[in-house]
Amino acid sequence: MEYLFLFICILNFSYSYKPVVFIHGLMGHSSDGRLINETIQKLHPGTPYYAVNAFTRLDTILPLWEEVEIVKPHLRQYMKAHPEGIHLICYSQGGVVCRGLLSTLPDHNVDTFIALSSPLAGQFGDWKLFHKLFPNFVKDNVYKLLYTKFGQSVFLGNYWKDPHHLSLYRNFSNFLAPLNNDSISANITEYKQNFLRLKKMVLIGGPDDGVISPWQSSQFGFYDDKEVVQGMAKQRFYREDSFGLRTMHGQNRIRIYEIPDIRHSQWVQNLTVIQNVIVKALS
């Protein structure tokens, strides 16, 4: 009997990978994480896996603070069921939503935040869906629509960062700008405290993405006013450690992967990335 108990304990111990929660991107759905789940189950059998099936498809064009509030109770429920901590895998726009979640959940127990090609420092570039949604605009003039009160009721307005109109960006962006302290935020101290509860952050992106612009935004880099990309360490929010990025970097808590030959839609489909980068980051 005692031996059996010991055996079960050892078995439990060796298979106790932390649960994984997947958060989809723009126009996405919980099923977008299917191959990630399958691969996790193959390599780390028995890992609890959740995909938040809320705020899907067309809902994802609504304001991101709304998405944060809708996803929050789901995340709270998973965290409560797993006090040992969870991992978050957030794809594309989902990574920006996760920034909002991690900044406003004072008691979160997220261990590792994996951002899979997310516009973490903002977006300044058009792509196919952009032209469908904003047929009368191009990247150089869409600020006229997005930097308005109306523009903030649209997903893209929340993280659009036009390097030629930063004053308007600061005045209007009510999601990314306060989270990155690009605009003065009454809650920045609290955002930082909450975000720093994370143990590790894994930033994945690459030059052939085709949607995230600049692609380095997936690693907190962004355009300067001459549209030259400046890396994470050159950003004001890094230098001032506005939300804990410099602290985490200094403590070796950030992993950065630059992977070529992957289109934006392929990040959740490519087995090489899923096996060698994503699942490897999970423990």
Ligand X SMILES: *[C@@H]1O[C@H](CO)[C@@H](O)[C@H](O)[C@H]1NC(C)=O
**Which residues contact ligand X by CB under 6 A?**
37-38, 41, 49-51, 167-168, 171, 178, 181, 184-188, 240, 242, 259-262, 266, 270, 272-273
Cβ 63 to ligand X shortest distance, Å: 14
Between 51 and 102, whose beta carbon lies closer to ligand X? 51
Cβ 226 to ligand X shortest distance, Å: 19
Cβ 129 to ligand X shortest distance, Å: 21
Q: What is the DSSP string of 5-35?
A: HHHHHHHHHHT-PPPEEEE--TT--GGGGHH
Between 156 and 277, whose beta carbon lies closer to ligand X? 277
Cβ 47 to ligand X shortest distance, Å: 9
Structure tokens at 189: 């101290």
Return phi, psi of residue 89, to 5°.
-115, 115
Residue 262 to residue 233: CA distance in whole angstroms: 25
Annotated active-site residue 209? The verdict is yes
Residue 222 to residue 225: CA distance in whole angstroms: 10
Annotated active-site residue 92? The verdict is yes
Between 130 and 211, whose beta carbon lies closer to ligand X? 211
Minimal CB distance to ligand X: which residue?
242
User: Which of these, 182, 178, 150, lies nearest to 165 by C-alpha position?
Assistant: 182
User: Which of these, 89, 7, 81, lies nearest to 52 by C-alpha position?
Assistant: 89
- Which of 24, 32, 87, 92 is catalytic? The answer is 92
Active site residues: 92, 209, 264
